Structure 1
């Protein structure tokens, strides 16, 4: 069922079993998991079914830290969320990402990789990729010319990525949710207030508001915030009527540990001899996969290096990376940019080029950011059109990121020589960590960590079940719960984590 808050009476009240706030990858995945559960579910979406400039402006915010993209450009505020311009890269978090590593402060999830991985098959189905193995050698067996670089696997290996179509959640799952008799989708319903009981331990109700002033109140048994890492933190912080520091923020952790995946142009690999490099070329149209070089877990531990992967682009085709500084800052321009880019890719799919003719490859790395409490979301004095304080992002990187880039290049250079594969050349800033980050530094538009998971309320906002410490019926879904970031594009993993939370909620609500 669908209702548009902007067209309803000024005081609309509903009661339900479960209220999900946010209809992006996490919110829609959870709603679809409840489609046949026989429970009354409300799914609140801040926007409508199409992009709207005025609604998108509610994502405005300011960055005062490391150079970053304009915040309205990085997130979409309509049904389907940021999946509506998602690139479709899929690979899961690695086992080491869940470990407490002594060289990575604040690392260590309260759940194991095995607990997480149990939900990868269902998450794969949501993004329309196969549920076959994630072992590259098994996956490419029998595929002609898909040959990995012959490196020592205890140092470097080729990591498998699969491509979602990409699944546009707002298109793919809209019909099923709107047709449901047990799930009600409310569009133009922006969360504004969260009201706790007198003891501050239970959410009694939440309020949503449309831009034209219509309001609704939702009373539910359980509530899930699935608005993304910036908005989840923002709404917990701004609702400070009962707790001055904000909901779930007794230990000043909400909004802290904001993480991205730093992406940057780094070194160049020069192969000693021609070989098929088809495995490392994007293939969106045929077997829908490719590979990046990744540093092995044993080497990460031995050398104290963060998780890093490197995409390889033929140097002749890679350009100067100037585009990274030309991305639109306006939300509408950004959305149009990515829509047009997808059309161009669809119109001109990758050809069967002779990949053996390229010997020089430019590396672009995507890396884990270490959890840093000073990298955070706070509130501005500026307010949006609904009267909600806008977010301030202070994105902060540390010496560990720079040292990890340096050390992974040193290891790769040695490995290329020892394996007789080729040579490595890298710019001065890679090895001289006193130099500034280069202008090619960007990010994946991957927002993580602001309501991090930890069983100790002094170290995390949510527990192992993604429930906010001290508030038993308020939960958080999505990548804001990530304790550490890994180097994997987060969509597949955040959906798996959301489906794990969904299973937990079914056990609570159906008791």
Structure 2
């Protein structure tokens, strides 16, 4: 084992949005920063090829090289052993940029009530932070991402700053939904998006490829490589293909002294630093802490509470889709431009959780999907495409799950990765309260589709539901070291110089896409870290 380079002021583990923002902030402040990421760099010039791979019918190679078919099966191996199957590799990326390389790009602030959920509904716990504490960091995160939005959401929390970019206009199908929702007294509004409605900070405006998830070829959709580029220009050193194997702490067990990581040549290296930041996501962060057990921490590093890996939480999905007797221009826009938060705030009796309705611009098959779905050719194929393309609609929803102690990320000692380490094991389940919320979401969705005289083709309800792939809660934040892993400054209770940046610190989840809150918390954590370094 060797020391790869000089001791750094800050070592960041993970080059997704959380790690990128912390690294950029620290490097701009003049501190030496080393970023370690388990995956490779992906050349920007290769995105068109990845887009083609993603949309090519019958393609079996994932565009961002995750899992067995991407040639990294052992590296990305995991176990799902809970009551609800969890397909982990479906929506994560190991590499510089992280999962923002293929995310949808919707960025909402949590509601004020989300921060005091227990006080107001009796469910879950309260956050040790308030919305007011995070509001300035939300604004900074929106500027960092280049968020396009409008102040037309009557249910949104209060703002003191405008969005950096104007909102995207409503789509053709949005107008259809708006008319139906107005008849049902359901309020609709625009969606804040981390994609450029006009050019921003050297990045192109949206060119309408419609393949936002999983590949944006133009770079109009924000991904963390833009922030990593800024960090490197400010002096940060980024080392890719450097999976951290474990963390070492000092004799007293008070401070982390080094991150031990592997390189493709088969060697291991130690990176020493004054401050360490874990920013590798809600699955790999608890896994690394559990892999870093020692005599002082026999149950895993920073785990005196026994809660590392506990309360693994995701948003469940609910949806209804079908066809109507008019053109909807499906797939004309590759992301959501209209939503409704009308059903978001939870009832005070705690009987069910929050719902965020999404009106899709990309429901139904593409012409290529239709062409490959049957044996018709020539004029018959054209007739089939005319019949099946351009008349689909769908209403989706994210549903809040109250964190459950038994849902967790742990280690599967019977299965190892490409370095011989136990793989993550995920235990996930659907509780009765969340089941009732999914059923409620379906009822609302059916009302909207009925108002549109739609022929319903599919329903995703409690029996078919799956995750939104928002990994939250596995190193929860709180003020009591016995019931949380990190404090309000995102620093672990057990080690003075170990910060966790990301959604794993969420005590509860709301029903909003988490990335803007991840960014706001990461910027707040970076300020706390810089105060300690000063």
Q: TM-score range by the shorter chain?
A: 0.7 to 0.9
CA distance in 2, matches of 1:56, 1:86: 21
CA distance in 1, matches of 2:396, 2:137: 30
| TM-superposition CA deviations, 1:178-233 (whole Å, max 9, x none) | 343x3111122211121122221211222111132222212211110000000001
Partner of 1:437: 462
Partner of 2:51: none
Partner of 1:369: 401
Q: 1:298 to 1:450 in 2, by over 3 A?
A: closer
1:83 maps to 2:100: yes
CA distance in 1, matches of 2:341, 2:115: 17
CA distance in 1, matches of 2:236, 2:169: 45
SS in 1 for 2:348: helix
Partner of 1:248: 302
- CA offset at residue 299 of structure 1? 5.7
CA distance in 2, matches of 1:188, 1:141: 37
- CA offset at residue 20 of structure 1? 0.6
Select which of 169, 179, 182 maps to 1:150: 182
Judge conservation of contact 1:56–1:77 (CA < 8 Å) in 2.
no
Q: 1:429 to 1:296 in 2, by over 3 A?
A: closer
SS in 2 for 1:218: strand
CA distance in 1, matches of 2:224, 2:192: 21
TM-score by length of structure 2 reads: 0.73
Judge conservation of contact 1:236–1:248 (CA < 8 Å) in 2.
yes
SS in 2 for 1:35: helix
Q: 1:184 to 1:60 in 2, by over 3 A?
A: same
CA distance in 1, matches of 2:266, 2:468: 35
Q: How many residues align?
A: 446
Select which of 466, 470, 478 maps to 2:494: 470
Alignment of 1:93-492 (within 5 A): 93-101=110-118, 103=121, 105-130=123-148, 133=151, 135=153, 149-150=181-182, 157-158=187-188, 160-165=190-195, 167-169=221-223, 171-180=225-234, 182-242=235-295, 243-266=297-320, 284=333, 290-296=337-343, 300-301=347-348, 304-313=351-360, 318=364, 362-381=394-413, 382-407=415-440, 437-439=462-464, 441-492=465-516
Partner of 2:26: 34
Alignment of 1:40-79 (within 5 A): 40-50=32-42, 53=70, 57-79=74-96
CA distance in 2, matches of 1:366, 1:22: 26
5+ long unaligned stretches in structure 1: 1-8, 324-356, 431-435
Judge conservation of contact 2:146–2:222 (CA < 8 Å) in 1.
no
Q: 1:295 to 1:496 in 2, by over 3 A?
A: same
CA distance in 2, matches of 1:172, 1:140: 21
SS in 2 for 1:79: coil
The structure whose residues are more often strand, as a share, is 1
CA distance in 2, matches of 1:451, 1:105: 19
- CA offset at residue 508 of structure 1? 1.3
CA distance in 2, matches of 1:26, 1:300: 32
User: CA RMSD for the aligned pairs?
Assistant: 3.9
| TM-superposition CA deviations, 1:107-128 (whole Å, max 9, x none) | 2111001112221122112222
CA distance in 1, matches of 2:40, 2:152: 36
Greater mean deviation of Cα atoms: 296-305 or 385-394: 296-305
SS in 1 for 2:507: coil
| TM-superposition CA deviations, 1:280-302 (whole Å, max 9, x none) | x88858xx862223344556336
CA distance in 2, matches of 1:151, 1:302: 29
CA distance in 2, matches of 1:244, 1:499: 32
SS in 2 for 1:123: helix
CA distance in 1, matches of 2:502, 2:35: 15
- CA offset at residue 392 of structure 1? 0.4
Judge conservation of contact 1:305–1:408 (CA < 8 Å) in 2.
no
Partner of 1:25: 17
- CA offset at residue 150 of structure 1? 3.2
Judge conservation of contact 1:46–1:55 (CA < 8 Å) in 2.
no
SS in 2 for 1:192: strand
CA distance in 2, matches of 1:175, 1:446: 25
Q: 1:73 to 1:57 in 2, by over 3 A?
A: farther
Greater mean deviation of Cα atoms: 156-165 or 120-129: 156-165
| TM-superposition CA deviations, 1:65-96 (whole Å, max 9, x none) | 24445323321111111111112122221112
| TM-superposition CA deviations, 1:259-306 (whole Å, max 9, x none) | 111112258899xxx9x999xx88858xx8622233445563366331
CA distance in 2, matches of 1:462, 1:179: 31
SS in 2 for 1:163: coil
CA distance in 2, matches of 1:244, 1:190: 22
5+ long unaligned stretches in structure 2: 43-63, 156-161, 196-219, 370-389
SS in 1 for 2:11: strand
CA distance in 2, matches of 1:171, 1:29: 10
Q: 1:292 to 1:94 in 2, by over 3 A?
A: same
TM-score by length of structure 1 reads: 0.76
Q: 1:95 to 1:49 in 2, by over 3 A?
A: same
